[in-house]
Chain A
Amino acid sequence: MSRRLIIAIAGTFLFCTSIYAQTIDDGLMIPKHTLFTGDIYTHDSWSQYWEGTLKRTNGNLGTVTTQTNTWSANYGVTNHLDIIALTPYVWTNASQGVLKGQGGLQDFTLAAKYNLIDAPFTNYGRLRIIGVVSGILPLTNYTPDFQPLSLGLGSKSLSGRGTVFFQAPRGWFINGSAAYTWRSNVKLDRPYYYTNGQLYLSDEVAMPNVFNYVVSGGYLKHGWMFPILFSQQRTLGGGDIRRQDMPFISNRMNYSKLSAMAMFPLPKLHGLMLQVMYGHILDGRNVGYSSTITTGLLYTFHLERHRSKI
């Protein structure tokens, strides 16, 4: 395989979408001194959401749309270590009611992806085990207290991830990846808040940690990739949105999501890849019943003349 490919997963991290896992949770590595970079556009919308476990519509929101434009870069420091950076710009909008959509830079992601094991596995294929450490840092001082139209949650976080990737010689592959995310407390602009059955006389909100995983399978050969992905997020604490309440940053936001993706090199444009993906939430709690369309245009730069083969 001369070209390494990227799986992009648009993670619905709340009501607002963030390109959390672009290239972070797949089983692929970028060759040494190669930069894989480009722009990814995501359109996420929902007209129904789960208020706790109750699925409902809200006439004062109508359809909530979150568009995200993310600059993505993935650089192969060595053949076994990739550094990944993501910078998303987010716009939110509600189609009904009087609430004002927001726009601005959201959260910067920086990840180090290390290939721990890369070896033939039995006679049937190749096994790769990858560890990833990633951090998220809000780029701007946006208010997180205007859900579901805030740009994001305003929390710093750190994730540890493990990925197992198996590929058969003919191009079929399966991938499983799981992460645990520690999230920092968030400061609000107000001196008190009520959540999870309690009034807190503080401006600081404890953000519960998050577990998520994704399993995918599909075809990968000659720069073409067609995976189907199933992902789940479990927030390890937090309260439900109460009846007719607004969502809150520390809510227990859970979901299951099914996505399909296609990624392929554009003919006659050497090094340029097009990525298209569609995902839909299957079930959730305190999140939107959203559908997500992602398109990306990514280019491979070879920064070293004689790159090593892996």
Chain B
Amino acid sequence: MVCAAIFVNASCDKTITPQEDPAPLTPAAADANAGNWQMIVMSGPTEFPVAAPAATTDPAYLAELSSIQSSQSAITSTQSTSIQYWSSGAVVRWNEILRELVARADLPPAPLPNGTYPAPDPANPFADPNYPFSNPPYAARAYSYISVAEYDALKAAWYYKYQYNRPSPAKVDSSIQALMPITDLPSYPSEDGVLSGVNTVLMELLFPTSVQEITEKAAEERQAAMLSGKASASDIAAGLALGQAVATLFVARAATDGMKNATGTTAQWQAIATAVAASGQIPWHTLEIPPRPPMLPFFSQVKAWMLTPTDIIQERPGPPPSTSSDQMKEELAEVKSAVDNVTREQAATVYKWNDGANSVTPPGHWNAIAAPYINAAQFSEVRTARAFALLNMAMLDAAVACWDAKYTYYNPRPSQLDPSIKTIIALPNFPSYTSGHSTFSAAASEVLSYLFPADESYFEAQRDEAAMSRLYGGIHYPSDIQVGKDHGKRIGDYTVRFAQQDGAD
């Protein structure tokens, strides 16, 4: 009967595995020359010198090996699980962890009883509202800082690895088991040390309320590297020191990259509205109740990775259709028709690409799309870091450029011009033109198509689906989507041009 069928279904194991389960990493190529690939922020691979390691015959090093041996003989099941987890590649794992931190912090402040909204305070991150509110621009910046810092630090690590050529403990001493795939990649300084150092410093800066979890994850990574026979204590210590040192460069950049002024003041954003009204256009206003300040109106001033401030202005799209034009009327009608007649298949794309509050945000969604391709390609850790760095630089640049357009034109959302337009996802609290999803997705698709040219059509299909979902959801005009896609493609191409000459191809 129906009941029996339901019962079978309902009574089976309901457990959901929260993480992806990528294959263990056995890199297709060692990328021995990665120390010479072009840096992004560091001046060169020797900016933070790494001292030569002790010889593999040194008593101190031999003591490290015997410590690994004895640890391996008493390994716990928790430790084995941890080794399994990190064997998929630490860059991919830290990317997963970062997506989780972004989703956790992606909640807007709740209104106060007096109808105002408190601002998250970096000096008091645990207060309500928590700091940060990891909205799409904030998240784009966070993904890019961590990815680029990992990438620069790993290039420096690769430089020293091949300068000193100290093998992994499991390669030096045959009595040490290789509990995860271990290659001939020199282990000093340890890439796991580097990544744990970079991530503790930068994640704690960007997501301070998760400090305890980050610290524990980093320690777990270092322990897994040691227990698995991949790196010795001195390999890890040298890597950790290098990672932490590189991260300080990025902390310094973050302090002066313009993010602090991205919120602006009420007077500043009212001035934008006044100027737009003076030009004969209806300016955007929030549709939230009580009225919420616009999201990061001066994010356009944040320092991009591949574009100068002049480039951002030069790439700025032309204006949207005038709010009084026939074209705008037609587009409004198109939005209304799209959302009122949405099919189940179209609605599925709307929810797939919602990426609203409590989400990894659109940049995180594209990281999730990239991760299985990167894993399948079995890139070395440094090449994996390059892939995420290129992707996330392009998306930060897309965020800056898109926010520049949004707050230049201050264009109203469809539901503002026609209150009968109701949406099937929450309406983002910032101007309409151009579509952030379209811009992010086009930039990401350009970079991923460069990295994985055989799958270009898939990435472009995802881009188009993401872009069109915003029309079906009732939150964007067709112009926002088309112009946003064109804009995002041009922005992404800056990163692709950099990648084509960075020495890695």
Contacts and interface: CB of A to CB of B under 8 A. Distances in A.
B15 interface: yes
Contact of B6 (A56, A96, A157, A185): A157
A137 B421 CA distance: 32
A20 to B, nearest CB: 15
B348 interface: yes
What DSSP secondary structure best describes chain B's contact surface? loop
Which of B18, B128, B339 is packed against the most chain A CB atoms within 10 Å? B18
A199 B129 CA distance: 20
B143 to A, nearest CB: 14
Interface stretch (B53-61, B350-358, B377-385): B350-358
Interface residues of A, number: 49
A185 B110 contact: no
Contacts of A137: 2, 6
A155 B104 CA distance: 25
B10 interface: yes
A68 B6 CA distance: 24
A141 B11 CA distance: 22
Given A207-B14, A243-B128, A244-B108, A189 B2 contact: no
Interface string B125-167: 0001100000000000000000000000000000000000000
A267 interface: no
A59 B288 CA distance: 7
Interface string A225-247: 00000000000000000111110
Interface string B103-134: 11011111100000000000000001100000
B378 to A, nearest CB: 20
A110 B3 contact: yes
A243 B107 contact: yes
Interface stretch (B298-306, B422-430, B489-497): B422-430
Contacts of A110: 2-3
Interface string A119-148: 000000000000001111100010101100
B289 A189 contact: no
B289 A60 contact: yes
B19 interface: yes
A302 interface: no
Given A97-B289, A135-B6, A183-B10, A244 B110 contact: yes
Contacts of A62: 289
Nearest to B101: A199
A112 interface: yes
A143 B352 CA distance: 11
Given A99-B422, A101-B422, A194 B104 contact: yes
Given A182-B11, A205-B16, A245-B357, A99 B423 contact: yes
A190 B354 contact: yes
A130 B139 CA distance: 56
Interface in B1-46: 2-3, 6-7, 9-11, 14-20
B359 interface: yes
A307 interface: no
A156 interface: yes
Nearest to A243: B110
A184 B357 contact: no
B415 interface: yes
Interface string A146-162: 10000000001110000
A114 to B, nearest CB: 13
B10 A190 contact: no
B360 interface: yes
Contacts of B425: 146
A1 interface: no
B290 interface: yes
B287 A199 contact: no
Given A110-B2, A143-B347, A243-B128, A100 B422 contact: yes
A189 B107 contact: no
A169 B6 CA distance: 40
Given A156-B10, A201-B368, A242 B107 contact: yes
Interface string B62-75: 00000000000000
Contact of B426 (A59, A99, A182): A99
Interface in A59-99: 59-60, 62, 96-99
A240 to B, nearest CB: 12
Contacts of B352: 189-191
A199 B3 contact: no
B110 to A, nearest CB: 4
A245 B358 contact: yes
A192 interface: yes
Which of B3, B15, B108 is packed against the most chain A CB atoms within 10 Å? B3
A206 interface: yes
Contacts of B103: 192, 194, 199
A202 interface: yes
Contacts of B339: 100
B315 interface: no
B100 interface: yes
Given A100-B474, A245-B357, A156 B104 contact: no
A260 interface: no
A204 interface: yes
Interface in B424-463: 424-427
B96 interface: yes
B453 to A, nearest CB: 24
In the A-B complex, list the 4 residue pairs whose CB atoms are closest, starting with the nearest.
A59-B289, A100-B422, A199-B100, A194-B103
Interface of A: 56, 59-60, 62, 96-101, 110, 112, 133-137, 141, 143, 145-146, 156-158, 182-185, 188-192, 194, 197-202, 204-207, 242-246
13 contacts: A59-B290, A98-B415, A100-B339, A143-B348, A145-B354, A157-B10, A185-B16, A189-B352, A191-B352, A192-B99, A194-B360, A201-B18, A202-B17
